[in-house]
Amino acid sequence: MQPTIITCAVTGSPPTVGKHPAIPVTPEQIATACIESAKAGAAVAHIHVRDVQTGKPSMDLALYREVVERVRASATDVIVNLTTGPGGRFVPGKEDLKVAGPGTTLASAERRVQHVVDLRPEICSLDFNTMNQSGHVTINWPEVLIKMSNLVREAGTKPELEVFDSGDVRITKELIEAGHIDKPALYQICLGIKYGADQTPEAMRYMRDLLPEGSHWAGFGISRMEFPMVAQAFLLGGNVRVGLEDNIYISRGVFTRDNAQLVERAANMVNWLGGRVATPSEAREILGLKKLAPRAVRSSAAE
């Protein structure tokens, strides 16, 4: 049996700051969470950054650079996976629906992958969902995704294709067949997000069966379904993801201590079910990754 890769999503874009005392906010806190999660068994650290003053999601290249440098300087050898999700939010204006209202973050393909091009992580996420969410619409237009895919490939980074429903998978197939994304593709099946696919065994199996043959994949659920979906993904032959981005509890009504405790639980489940947790070096071999050197630091004006 191939070892199971655990990804830890240490701090996401939802406004969870204030809901849990251990949500990482500063670059030092985020990097520390990645390192501690790696020590607990995570081979991959999925990273967002936050404004250090407000705790809200950020696209600041300097924040990404500090996190990545801290993680790469550690002894864990964990694989860095940077998000490219920010920049896809549209909030219709109240007076004119076609005019962007407050809270809109829509950005160009170049802006959304700037940190990936400069820092050259081994993996970056690439969201394929266009969907309603609470208070806004997430828009990932295929033409923008094509540009992002090409820029990411030029940087040498492997995209992790995040799919939230069946139509998302169909778009990924079109980009793969058109040559914008290399085979075998890497997928993340995202379940339980409002207005996306349900977090059920049936939904995960259905989504898995839609993937191109030979693809690598992982799956996750959120909140109380995080660990049931860990078991389901493992049983279906996939890899798994946990982390404070997806869930802040270790059991009903009990906050998790930190990201590392969630990873420890996932690793124990893999072992209890007869599997084995992959090391970062094993994950690199499975996924065909290569370590990359970051580009030279650009001027602050360019950032």
Structural domain boundaries in the chain? 6-287
Instruction: Kindly report, residue by residue over 49-97, the tens digit of the pLDDT.
Output: 999 999 999 999 999 999 999 999 999 999 999 999 999 999 999 999 9
pLDDT at residue number 280 = 97
Domain over 6-287 is classified CATH 3.40.50.1950? no
- Phi, psi (degrees; rounded to nearest 5) at 226: -60, -50
What pLDDT tens digit does each residue of the chain (303 aa) get?
Answer: 899 999 999 999 887 788 998 999 999 999 999 999 999 999 999 999 999 999 999 999 999 999 999 999 999 999 999 999 999 999 999 999 999 999 999 999 999 999 999 999 999 999 999 999 888 999 999 999 999 999 999 999 999 999 999 999 999 999 999 999 999 999 999 999 999 999 999 999 999 999 999 999 999 999 999 999 999 999 999 999 999 999 999 999 999 999 999 999 999 999 999 999 999 999 999 999 988 878 766 544 444
Instruction: At 277, list the tokens.
Output: 């947790």
What φ, ψ does residue 170 adopt, rounded to 5°? -65, -35
- pLDDT in the model for residue 16: 79
Using alpha carbons, select from 163, 167, 164, 185 the residue that is nearest to residue 176: 185
Q: What pTM, to 2 d.p., does this model score?
A: 0.95
